[in-house]
Amino acid sequence: MSVRSAKIKVAEQRSGGATFGLAVCLAAALATGAALVVGGRDTTAGLVVVSLLAVAWAGAGAVTTIRQHCPAASIVNTFAAATAAGATSWSLDAANDLHGSGGLLVDAGQRLAVTLTAALMFHLLMTMPDGHLARASHRRFVWAGYVIGATMGLTLLVDRDRVLVWPVVLLWAAALLALPTAHANYRAAGLIDQRRMQWLGWAAVVAAEVTLVSVGLSLVADWPHHNGEVALAASGLVPLAIAASTVPRLLARVDRLLTHTVALTGLTALIVVAYLLALAAFGRRPDGSERSLLLLSMLAAAGAAIAYQPARAYLTERANRVVYGERVSPDEALRTWGSRLTRAIPLDELLLQLAETLRKSMQLRSAQIWTGADGHYEVAAMVPHRTVKPYAIGEKERSVVSRAGVSGGTWLDIWLPGLVEPATTATTRVASIAHSGALLGLIVCERPADRAVFTDDDDRVLTELARQVGLALHNVQLDTALQASLDELRHTNDELSASRTRIVAAGDAERRKLERNLHDGAQQHLVALAVKLRLANTTRHQQWGEDAVGER
């Protein structure tokens, strides 16, 4: 009964918290609407942006509260309330010439809204993705953030004519100190929580992209004129991303979206920096027709950069078809050979493809791949193909060859005599295919005498290929052993089933035999007993008749 009452109490607390959170969101939205109404004709672009930002945070708070996917909904709701309070304060300050305590409250509301939102962002980053602090010590940092934010907001009241920008910028920069903790939380989180955090990262990257483009355009073309409002509007993607992270369907592809967005942002930053350097070298800002020309050139550069990757892939494929007659170059095929190791393609076919690729990429006269075990090896793939006898390697030689790596020259004459012709050992490389100390095969590469000798890069390629082939052959051996064990298990199971059938049949036969013996023996006994009884009855009647006649 106590457990049930505890559950009911927790449910009531959650319901009360959700109701309070929705009330805060609704109050923030209403306060924002009232701020726009109060502002009237004096409403500026900045006030509109702040108001829309408050509505976005209120909507995100409502979504996270209703769906209950993010326990950090209380932080989001508080952020919405602080933004709405700031919008209301700015609206009252713009529409009325307030003095005394009223003016002091409005000024304090403006400054505290700016500084406390930075502390709230610090708190949100420290508690992502589940709204809980990873360590108890982090609680002190969060409280310190709120104290610093409130102190900074009150300190800004010294100059009530305007809000100083540099302290606010420093405060928001300090809020980014929570990023290492957020990254550590991301690495420790599960897959679903990581994707929810990826939505927040995507919003931050897009906001940075918009801000970067805005600043670049304002420096180059003197437009737009209000970079602060543009950056503030771009930050509205953060609450939208928080709301999107609560929808399971939107979590599937967010990782790819984030990677592509980061790549595009890096490309944009590169273009903007390049044009700013060109502008610095030019010595002055462009004017008149020069701005149009510069903007068109920036658009052309961005378009070329975006089109470069698909164009490069297409042109590379066409060039490979012309030069090599295939979609990919032999070098690329060698590097990606390991990625094609699947059970869908037979290993013999993969080995033949490897031999053909080796011959093309390394300009070989012959490429051979030997496979086997226990000292007996046969050619599994050879280009060009010719009939070769099996090759035997002694136990002593196997232990040396399996550890040799890539070898050639006189080493082959000593440890692998007869594998290649003695006249070609100087232009031959042999890579040992080994796994766990067992020699599973050999890769033999032979070049014509008039070609360049093998380089260290060639040896590294052969070493990596031998490792991958060794792993593949080891997996094949495991599959073969597993299949043999499975067949033996099936055979044993069939024998057990047959033995069980025989035992059941023998038991049934014995049961029927006993039933038959019991039935037949009892029946004969009963018939004999009936005959005896009938005979005794007849004898008795005869005796009674004789006695009656004697008495007469």
> What are the respective helix, strand and coil percentages of the chain, to the nearest 5?
75, 5, 20
Amino acid 10: pLDDT: 40
Amino acid 202: pLDDT: 95
Q: Does domain 346-481 have CATH number 3.30.565.10?
A: no
- Cβ burial of 60 (10 Å; 0-12, 13-18, 19+) is buried
Q: With both helix axes pointing from N to C terminus, report the angle between 237-244 and 191-221 in degrees, rounded to the nearest 10.
A: 160
pLDDT tens track, the chain, 552 positions: 454 454 444 444 445 455 656 676 677 667 677 666 665 566 777 888 888 888 889 888 888 888 765 567 888 888 988 888 888 888 777 666 666 677 888 888 889 998 999 999 999 999 988 788 888 889 999 999 999 999 998 998 888 777 778 777 887 888 889 999 999 999 998 888 899 999 999 999 999 999 988 888 888 777 788 888 899 899 999 999 999 998 888 888 899 899 989 988 888 888 888 888 888 887 777 776 777 777 788 788 878 878 888 888 888 888 877 877 767 666 676 767 766 666 667 888 888 888 888 888 888 899 999 999 888 999 999 998 888 899 999 888 888 998 888 998 889 988 998 888 888 888 899 999 998 889 999 999 999 888 778 888 888 888 888 988 888 888 888 888 888 888 899 999 999 999 989 998 888 888 887 777 766 666 677 777 777 788 888 887 777 665 655 555
Q: With both helix axes pointing from N to C terminus, report the angle between 138-155 and 165-175 in degrees, rounded to the nearest 10.
A: 170
Q: Which letter does DSSP use for residue 72 in this model?
A: T
- The residues near 80 (Cβ < 8 Å, ≥ 6 apart) are 24, 25, 28, 29, 54, 57, 58, 60, 61, 239
Amino acid 282: pLDDT: 78
Amino acid 145: pLDDT: 92
pTM to 2 decimal places: 0.65
Q: How many residues does the chain have?
A: 552
Amino acid 147: pLDDT: 93
Spatial separation of the C-alpha atoms in residues 457 and 463, rounded to whole Å: 10
Spatial separation of the C-alpha atoms in residues 298 and 12, rounded to whole Å: 58
Amino acid 433: pLDDT: 92
Amino acid 9: pLDDT: 45
